[in-house]
Amino acid sequence: MSEPTRAVKVWDLPVRLFHWLLVALFLFSLLSGKMKGNWMEWHMYSGFAILALVIFRILWGFAGSTHARFSSFLAGPGACLRFAKRLLSKAPAYVAGHNPIGGWMVIILLLSLLLQAGTGLFANDDISIEGPLYKFVSKEMSDRLTAIHYYNFNVMVFFVFTHVAAVVFHVFVKKENLVSAMFTGTRNLDAATEVPAARFASSWLALILFALALVAVYLVVKRPF
Please say which residue, 136 or 183, places its beta carbon nearer to ligand HEM.
183
As beta bridge partners, residue 187 has: 8
Nearer to ligand HEM, 67 or 124 (CB): 67
Q: From CA 200, how far away is CA 129, in angstroms rounded? A: 43
Q: Output the smallest distance, CB 71 to ligand HEM, in A.
A: 13
Query: Least separation, in Å, of the C-beta of 123 and ligand HEM?
Result: 19
d(CA 93, CA 183): 20
Name which position in 4, 8, 12, 26 contacts ligand HEM (CB under 6 A). Answer: 26
98 binds ligand HEM (CB under 6 A): yes
Beta bridge partner(s), residue 144: none
Query: What's the CA gap between 83 and 157, in Å, rounded?
Result: 25
Site string for ligand HEM, 66-95 (x = CB under 6 A): --x---------------------------
- Count of residues engaged in binding ligand HEM, rule: CB under 6 A: 20
Question: Is 66 in contact with 196 (CB distance < 8 Å)?
Answer: yes
Pick 26 or 83: Cβ nearer ligand HEM: 26
One residue of 178, 206, 217, 221 binding ligand HEM per CB under 6 A: 178
Q: Can residue 164 be called a binding residue for ligand HEM (CB under 6 A)? A: yes
Residues interacting with ligand HEM, by CB under 6 A?
A: 15, 18-19, 22-23, 26, 57, 68, 98, 102, 106, 109-110, 160, 163-164, 167, 178-179, 182
